[in-house]
Amino acid sequence: RKEVEQDPGPFNVPEGATVAFNCTYSNSASQSFFWYRQDCRKEPKLLMSVYSSGNEDGRFTAQLNRASQYISLLIRDSKLSDSATYLCVAAGGGNNRLAFGKGNQVVVIP
């Protein structure tokens, strides 16, 4: 079973719309969770950490449900510059190695 599972998409989103996607993780011992953004052939860039209480950063909202082992990301008022792949990440182990999902590819259309 994959450690982190995401539906890769693509998600074609009209500019200004809201898009939401989620992932599931299999390792119940995972301690920390993140969303990273990756542009084509670039490095993953940290978008936000995900907390049990839910957290918001501007147009981005992340939620964690430990009971269901489920993480979500919502993007409001999508911009063309939001087009990227969004990677769901769980950290575990003594030194917090990161387990990545395949990513949700988002294409914002004018």
By CB under 8 A, residue 97 contacts another protein:
yes
Contact positions with another protein (CB under 8 A) in 21-80: 31-32, 34, 41-46, 49
- Distances 91 to 37, 76, 77, 95 between C-alpha atoms, Å: 16, 26, 29, 9
DSSP state of 77: S
Contact 62, 71 (CB under 8 A): yes
Closest CB to another protein among residues 50, 78? 50
By CB under 8 A, residue 103 contacts another protein:
yes
Region of 12-20, 53-61, 69-77, 85-93 interacting with another protein (CB under 8 A): 85-93
Comparing C-alpha atoms, which of 29, 30, 21 is closest to residue 84? Answer: 21
CB of 14 to another protein, least distance (A): 27
